[in-house]
Structure 1
Amino acid sequence: MSISPLRSSKRARDGVLFVDEAYDLEVPDSYRDYGHHIIAMIMKAMEDQRNNMVVIFAGFKDEMKWFIESNAGLRSRISAFVDFPDYSDEELVNIFGIYCTNLSYTLSEEARDKLRSVLKAMEPGRKDKFGNARGMRNLFDETVIKQARRVVEQDVTDKDDLVRILPEDVPGTYTPGSTDGKIAYLASRR
């Protein structure tokens, strides 16, 4: 078993211990599962340091509910639950725009419209498969690859055009779990 959870809980004294995708610690019926030991260490720290340490467990709502309900001792030590709603389509487009700005790309208004239509087309399956800002980062990465191919194929030399993202650069398909080169949005889920 790794000593890092113990070190992390000691470092979190007078601070915060953040455990992302905490449900991955609990693997039912696994003979090689050390997660329950880590959970026990965290629960001990939550009890022993309750006045000077905050523990935040984060993850997808349904998996977090299962995780918390799987351990009565854990449930009794958690005093608050916060459910963050998914971003709206417009917020997701703005997040994509931030990725563009941070890497000195220019997002055309037509590309913004394409993003909106791609997000709209993704709506039926997006709730369970899409990682919100992480999903937009993945879409941005895929867009940059397509944009780079386009500027090379079209022998673009204008400085502004080299960093402009056009609608044809935005992938237009949503294929959950695809491994055939199409863009796929899969969060870490069971």
Structure 2
Amino acid sequence: MLNKTMVKLMEDYRDEFILILAGYSNEMDSFLQTNPGLRSRFPFQINFPNYTMDQLLDILKMMAKERDYRLTNRALLKVEQQIEICLRNEPFTFSNARYIRNILERAIRQQAMRMMQYVHYSEDQLTILRADDFTFHK
């Protein structure tokens, strides 16, 4: 939360720096209402639309590829079904690409645990994420 000193610094140095705040629309509106002069100090507000399902799956594939992983079709389908659940149950708080990054990182850890059961494995086995590597929880 911004205190009086921070607000004074923002005013005194307004021509020398840029402050960017990011958050969900409703929460940002509530925040800007906490101080009568706060909204005028943030004259530009940009609302970014949520990614589409196809964009989220593309982000997942891109993030996996950057880490040298590939996903099976069943893994992609499982993630798509989970995203649909999130969009239905949490339409205003679904975290989009951050959620994708988090589930990918969990899947990579799960895949590493799964691979520990094998004595011998191929490079291909090390780079494929399967549906059972993706687990979802709140």
Counterparts of 1:78 and 1:70 in 2: how far apart (Å)? 13
Check 1:92–1:155 CA distance in 2 against 1; reply closer, same or farther (3 A cut). farther
1:165 to 110, 129, 135: 129
Q: For the Cα contact (< 8 Å) 2:86–2:94, is it kept in 1?
A: no
Aligned partner of 2:80 in structure 1 is: 116
Aligned partner of 1:78 in structure 2 is: 42
Aligned partner of 1:126 in structure 2 is: 90
2:53 to 79, 83, 89: 89
* 3-state SS of 1:53 partner: coil
1:152 to 86, 93, 116: 116
* 3-state SS of 1:161 partner: helix
* 3-state SS of 1:72 partner: coil
Counterparts of 2:43 and 2:63 in 1: how far apart (Å)? 35
1:105 Cα deviation after fit = 1.2
Structure 2's unaligned 5+ residue stretches are none
Kindly tell me the number of residue pairs found equivalent between the two proteins: 138
Structure 1's unaligned 5+ residue stretches are 1-24, 26-35, 174-182, 185-190
Amino-acid identity (%)? 28
User: Higher RCO, 1 or 2 (CA under 8 Å, sep at least 6)?
Assistant: 2
Q: For the Cα contact (< 8 Å) 1:43–1:73, is it kept in 2?
A: no
**Cα-Cα RMSD:** 2.1
Counterparts of 2:105 and 2:115 in 1: how far apart (Å)? 16
Aligned partner of 1:54 in structure 2 is: 18
Q: For the Cα contact (< 8 Å) 1:96–1:136, is it kept in 2?
A: yes
1:53 Cα deviation after fit = 2.1
Report the TM-score, using the length of structure 1 for normalisation: 0.64
